[in-house]
Chain A
Amino acid sequence: MPSIAITGPILVPLLAAAVITTFGFFRFDLGRGASGAGAWGAVAVLLVLWLSVRSTQELNLGPLGYGSSLNLRLDAVAFAFGLMVSVPSAVLLTLQRRTWQEAAIAMVGLAAAMAAVEAGGVVLTAVAGGTAATLAVLLLDAEDIQAPRPRWSVMLAAWLALGWAGVIFQVLGGTAVYPAVPVAAVTAPVFTLFAVAALMASGMFPWRSWPAQLWARPSLRAAGMAIATVYPLGFYLLVRAYEVGDGRYPRQLFNVLLASLGILVALGAAARAQAAATRREFLGEVIPGFGGFALMTLALGTPLGLEAALITLATAAAFAACLPLLPDRAGPASLVTIAAAVGLPPGLAFGARVLGIESTFEAGDLLGLIGLAGAAGWALWMVGAARAIGLPAGRGHPVAETFPKIAMGIALLTLVAGPAAAAVQAGLAGPAAANVLGGSGATPGANLTTVVTVSTVLPALTLFVPLLLIAAIGYGLAGTALIRGQPRPVLFSLPGSTWMERARAALREATIPEQYRSLVNLPALESAVAGGRPLLWLAALVALAFAVTR
């Protein structure tokens, strides 16, 4: 396979965008077919490229001019995250109707996200990731300019910070290419910058941030694409951070801090979910909940932890496709989706969380306590799910963009994929972990039916299949008749949950007190500075002359 083929997952969506735009200018809307074809084309090329070779492929097209080369790399990590970005995007683009402008923007955003995961170095990732983030914001605004969207300042800050981190690697270590950065260049301050960029890029905060706020939009077309293309990128950076640090973070303190942050994110999402007023609000916390669990285990620094994180993120990607297609009404689709999302056995979410908590216990010490907190959070999700079944639907999004059977199908798929957890680990998560953790990344004796950990063996297939059969028989016998959707009280309310909104509102309305306004007369200051006054010019000259003599 010629190495230029690596550009396929990026170029195919770009080509599709160009075709859609050209036809669009001639007032011919190609519809979902073109965007779906482009997105599935990217998936197909990715699968062909990886499965035919199953080892790292690189392409270097020469310097770009800002200290980086156009260096693309398709390894196990890029493959895993490429699927997480492209498959849900393809599902959404194929099913949901969009204007040709929105379709074109979405395709370019997909191309940018694919470029971010295939980029061989930090600076190029920053450029591509920043582009994907900008396009996501643009797509959200194109759909509805008044609806909630991510703060553009936070997005810009995240990718600028990453760019700076990349530049620091270049200055300290001579390169920002992931496998080539010297470990000595990965100092604690630089890693802090890197990690903060990753957290901001994906909105991994304990409070309600953009991945949850997007679900309050009247339409979920653009929200789904934004989550699918941008949300995984922060996690991608944290995974690559292991590669840059030769298999570990520079200090164990970072592992503890990030894992703690992960559990706070998960607990925060769980607490908000169980206090949700509508089902839509509950479902809005699903993706952040997955993200929190993924961060918790990803930060452990162990092969099992990283694999559990990747399986969790893959599941989250499935729900990034499922949730925008789910109608806001009660029914089997909502029921199955909620069940699958909260980690009911024997689903993939269940398997991932079991592995994740197991990995915290294996990591030991304080991290084991974090695992206990993770288990508590999971229980809270269960409580929230039970309550969510009886909640009112919410504001509702247009029926035309919902596909309840397909949403239910995706949720069911994650439920029945639970027994295949070992296969997912062996085929997707394991090679990615081995890629970044080096020799320590290989899970001993991995196979398609069993997950082997340091301390135990989880026979996923033989344990989960009977569970699946029991659940199927039980559901078949009882149906939904026994399920009573009744209103249940909130388990607890978060103290001070609205303080941030109140603080922000107060800041926005803040004004200078009346008696001090004459001190700060901005128009007069502007007039003085920009009025071409000779005295000011002379004074400035004298000040400059004085400054240089010091």
Chain B
Amino acid sequence: MQPELQANLSVLVAAAAAVVLALVLSPPRMSRSTLVANGGAGLAGMVFIAAAPSLELAVLVLLALGVLHAGAGGRREFAVRLRGPIAAAALLGLALFFARVQGPDVLSRFAAVGLAAGLAAGVGLLPYIHELDPEEPAALSPIVWIGFVGPVLATAVVLRAREVLPAGAGGAFGAMLIGLGLLNIVWGTVASWRTEAGAAAWHYSFVADWGLALCGFGLTVSEGSSAALLVLVSILIGRLPLYLASRQALREKTPTERPINLVVAAVLAGSAPFAGFAARVLLFRAATQLYWPLALVLALLMLLWLPGSLRLGQSLGLPRGRQAFGVGVVVALNVLIGLYPLPLLSLAGR
């Protein structure tokens, strides 16, 4: 199998599972056929991005995907919806430019800047957070980028960065990813706790998780990328389905405090035995190997997940029927991956 595709296999499988979970967990007013169509199109785009043999092909697929998503409708203006993907394509294009030209070494660092910034713009992370309209349907909102397409895009960019960037710029790329990661962790955790709108709180919680993933990608040891992979998978089969399940309760503004809400909060906070805890252990391992003060900073920041997660858990409301079953499946999957992540990591060739 093509190495690029192999590296993304776990994420693609998780994305497919996310589509199935979305069908189970979507609120009644969301059209299932629209969900299937959008999810299928997104999945196809992700496969193309993953299978693209070069970064410029991945960028072109990103552009096409961005246009299709923007053209699907939504409350935000078309141009606003396209800002993220186009900015990402432009920045990645600049990165490719600086990586290929001959000149002083600083140009390769600019290439690293382009890659990191392009990745952040494509996914919708700080400082390139995509504008969110809380009333917009989930399938048409920026959550699609940050919670569905983003994982494959990130893995593709990071994998190809190693081919595109010369040796000297790799360190700069990693450092930038870690810096952006820490920034996103702080912003995402605090904002998801303190922001007024429930949908925005969920959005920022995705940002926080991505901060962990970026730190993992920036730590250039295998445990770091394994940690990032686990975080991305936990986003796809944990945070994203739970967000979809919470849409109706968010609209009705009916937070509840039942045991299921605490379980969901535990899943979102990355406590044992869920997937987030295993990711954190791997992240500790990677950080300790390379630079232990970073592990200390991460350990302290990890506690910031709690208040936001408790709030988000309550915002789920009380799931019933099909939704309760779906939440149960999400929890079970997260437990399975949290206790035994080896098959998932092996699937990705780690």
In the complex, A touching B (Cβ < 8 A): yes
A-B contact pairs, 10 of them (CB 8 A): A64-B342, A127-B281, A127-B338, A134-B266, A138-B263, A523-B196, A532-B131, A540-B128, A545-B110, A548-B106
B143-182 residues with Cβ-Cβ distance < 8 A to A are: 172, 175-176, 179
Q: Chain B residues near A530 (CB, 8 Å)?
A: 129, 131-132, 200
Q: Chain B residues near A105 (CB, 8 Å)?
A: 259
- Whether A354 sits at the interface, judged by CB under 8 Å, is no
* Residue on B nearest A141 in the bound complex, by CB: B262
- Whether B116 sits at the interface, judged by CB under 8 Å, is yes
Report the minimal beta-carbon distance from A13 to chain B, rounded to whole angstroms.
15
Q: Are A130 and B303 in contact (CB under 8 A)?
A: no
Closest 9 CB pairs of A and B: A130-B272, A65-B342, A540-B127, A65-B341, A142-B259, A532-B131, A548-B109, A131-B273, A167-B284
B89-143 residues with Cβ-Cβ distance < 8 A to A are: 91, 106, 109-110, 112-113, 116-117, 121, 126-132
- Whether A156 sits at the interface, judged by CB under 8 Å, is yes
Q: How many A-B residue pairs have CB under 8 A?
A: 146
Q: Are B273 and A171 in contact (CB under 8 A)?
A: no
Q: Are A66 and B116 in contact (CB under 8 A)?
A: no
Bound together, the chains give a CA A536 to CA B127 distance in angstroms of 8
- Whether A213 sits at the interface, judged by CB under 8 Å, is no
Bound together, the chains give a CA A170 to CA B295 distance in angstroms of 14
State whether A545 and B284 are in contact (beta carbons under 8 Å apart), knowing that A66-B341, A130-B277, A529-B126 are contacts in the complex.
no
Report the minimal beta-carbon distance from A38 to chain B, rounded to whole angstroms.
19
Q: Are A64 and B341 in contact (CB under 8 A)?
A: yes
- Whether A137 sits at the interface, judged by CB under 8 Å, is yes
Q: Chain B residues near A523 (CB, 8 Å)?
A: 196
Bound together, the chains give a CA A541 to CA B187 distance in angstroms of 18
We find that the number of chain B residues with CB closer than 8 angstroms to chain A is 66
Q: Chain B residues near A138 (CB, 8 Å)?
A: 259, 262-263, 266
A163 is contacted by which of B106, B277, B340, B342 (Cβ under 8 Å)? B277
Interface size class of A (residues with CB under 8 A): 35 or more
Binding site for A on B (CB under 8 A): 80, 83-84, 87, 91, 106, 109-110, 112-113, 116-117, 121, 126-132, 172, 175-176, 179, 187, 191, 194-196, 200, 223, 226, 257-259, 262-263, 266, 269, 271-273, 277-278, 280-282, 284-285, 288-289, 292, 295, 299, 302-303, 306, 310, 338-345
Bound together, the chains give a CA A170 to CA B285 distance in angstroms of 8
Q: Chain A residues near B127 (CB, 8 Å)?
A: 529, 536-537, 540
Q: Are B176 and A156 in contact (CB under 8 A)?
A: no
Q: Are B80 and A532 in contact (CB under 8 A)?
A: yes
Binding site for B on A (CB under 8 A): 63-67, 101, 105, 112, 123, 126-131, 133-134, 137-138, 141-142, 145, 152-153, 156-157, 159-161, 163-164, 166-168, 170-171, 522-523, 526, 529-532, 536-537, 540-541, 544-545, 547-549
* Residue on B nearest A522 in the bound complex, by CB: B194
Bound together, the chains give a CA A240 to CA B119 distance in angstroms of 45
Bound together, the chains give a CA A419 to CA B317 distance in angstroms of 56
Q: Chain B residues near A145 (CB, 8 Å)?
A: 257-258
State whether A545 and B113 are in contact (beta carbons under 8 Å apart), knowing that A64-B340, A101-B259, A141-B259 are contacts in the complex.
yes
Q: Are B80 and A529 in contact (CB under 8 A)?
A: no
Bound together, the chains give a CA A142 to CA B339 distance in angstroms of 24
Q: Are A532 and B196 in contact (CB under 8 A)?
A: no
Bound together, the chains give a CA A152 to CA B223 distance in angstroms of 27
Report the minimal beta-carbon distance from B193 to chain A, rounded to whole angstroms.
11
Bound together, the chains give a CA A532 to CA B310 distance in angstroms of 28
Q: Are B113 and A541 in contact (CB under 8 A)?
A: yes
Q: Chain A residues near B344 (CB, 8 Å)?
A: 65
Given A127-B278, A529-B127, A541-B113, 7 other A-B contacts at CB below 8 A? A127-B339, A131-B273, A141-B262, A159-B272, A523-B196, A548-B106, A548-B172
Q: Are B272 and A65 in contact (CB under 8 A)?
A: no
Report the minimal beta-carbon distance from A525 to chain B, rounded to whole angstroms.
9
A548 is contacted by which of B113, B194, B200 (Cβ under 8 Å)? B113
Bound together, the chains give a CA A65 to CA B346 distance in angstroms of 9
Q: Chain A residues near B340 (CB, 8 Å)?
A: 64-65
* Residue on B nearest A105 in the bound complex, by CB: B259
Q: Chain B residues near A153 (CB, 8 Å)?
A: 303, 306
Report the minimal beta-carbon distance from A381 to chain B, rounded to whole angstroms.
36
Q: Are A152 and B194 in contact (CB under 8 A)?
A: no
Report the minimal beta-carbon distance from B275 to chain A, rounded to whole angstroms.
10
B284 is contacted by which of A130, A133, A164 (Cβ under 8 Å)? A164
Q: Are A131 and B341 in contact (CB under 8 A)?
A: no
Q: Are B342 and A164 in contact (CB under 8 A)?
A: no
Q: Chain B residues near A166 (CB, 8 Å)?
A: 281
Q: Chain A residues near B289 (CB, 8 Å)?
A: 171
Q: Are A157 and B272 in contact (CB under 8 A)?
A: no
Q: Are B281 and A67 in contact (CB under 8 A)?
A: yes
Report the minimal beta-carbon distance from A63 to chain B, rounded to whole angstroms.
6
Q: Chain A residues near B172 (CB, 8 Å)?
A: 548
